[in-house]
Amino acid sequence: MKTRMTELLGIKHPIMLAGMAFVSLPKLVAAVSNAGGIGMLNSVAYTPDQVKGVIREVKDLTDKPFGVNATLILPNGRENIAVALEEKVPILNYALGKGDWIIKAAHEYGGKVLATVAIEKHARRAEMDGADALVVTGHEAAAHGAEVGTLVLIPSIARQSKLPIIAAGGFCDGRGLAAALVLGADGISMGTRLMLTQECEMHQKAKELSLKATAEDTICSEKIDGLPGRWLKNPAAIKMAEGKPSLFEAFSSALRIKRLINVPFYKLILGGLKQRGVQDLARQALSLKGLKAAIDNGDLETGVLPIGQAIGLMKDIPTCKEVMERTVSEAEELVEALRKKITS
């Protein structure tokens, strides 16, 4: 299937692996790229020193295009993208921040930049800054979407923008891909679907327990990691959504983040306070600790896990290649069937 997304990124299938913290790691990134989609490495788990080695690890596993994703307001976000630019990574994907400097630097070596947005204003800003495509994320998505759902957000941004659009939030199959194309997108990004694949290194127990969830088993709260986001509705997420971390928790949590992702303590405190305040700093750290517990140990009692509503449509743990191939062939069949349905 050829679309503006496949042409822009030089890939076979119009499907992107979402940059998921502690999930979109080299093995999964390479599996998606090797299967014809675009793998997107999430850099939040790494220091700038480490990220260079990790990018090279991906290059050893695939000779296909791949990208590096960073959330610019998180510790190390800007620094890690700067390393990806030095390494001339073909695709850069940024979220939650201003990316004009990334676009300028990437274009100097022929790199392409995808801006992740969840509201119209940010889409307009990214287009003015010179982004090559938009990853437009609707309310159904795991983690940080905004208020408007995919069904309305995609056409409303497609109507205003000339850029290729990669639709995110709720996509897991061919029906979703066909719908995204009809809504005005040029392809899709999948987070939750590709997290539940054989190549994803998340603990098997977490994959199996997640599969039992329905579309209604998610919770949206800004109190889990300090930003509005969607998580699996489990005991830990419910408790965190109701709670208010203390000053003590804020500082002990900041120490924990420092250990987890090796950020200088002063930078963490100053950055955290400037952007988000003490309680959100604590929430960020507690959610990172919970996310590690879910992903590394399969602990979905005390751990927390971002998960999209599309979880309710999933029934298996396939390979990335299976996801790519069946998504595209199902979308093609559905488009044909639709033609017959409306003309007969």
Ligand X SMILES: Cc1cc2nc3c(=O)[nH]c(=O)nc-3n(C[C@H](O)[C@H](O)[C@H](O)COP(=O)(O)O)c2cc1C
Instruction: List residues binding ligand X (CB under 6 A).
Output: 18-21, 23, 42, 44, 71, 95, 116, 137, 140-144, 168-171, 189-193, 195, 305-308, 310
Closer CB to ligand X, 72 or 251, in the complex: 72
Phi-psi region at 170: left, alpha or beta (left = phi > 0; alpha = psi -120 to 50): left
Min dist. Cβ of residue 340 to ligand X (A): 29
Closer CB to ligand X, 18 or 331, in the complex: 18
Q: Which residue number places its CB atom closest to ligand X?
A: 191
Min dist. Cβ of residue 20 to ligand X (A): 3
Look-up of token digits 């400097």: 101
Closer CB to ligand X, 95 or 105, in the complex: 95
Closer CB to ligand X, 60 or 216, in the complex: 216
CB distance 291 to 234 below 8 Å: no
Min dist. Cβ of residue 2 to ligand X (A): 23
User: Cα 156 from chain centroid?
Assistant: 21
Closer CB to ligand X, 76 or 161, in the complex: 76
**Closest residue by Cα to residue 237 from 299, 281, 314:** 299
Min dist. Cβ of residue 28 to ligand X (A): 11
Min dist. Cβ of residue 111 to ligand X (A): 19
Please state the three-class secondary structure of 188-250 as a single string.
Answer: EEECHHHHCCCCCCCCHHHHHHHHCCCCCCEEEECCCCCCCEEEECCHHHHHHHHCCCCHHHH
Look-up of token digits 């090559």: 132
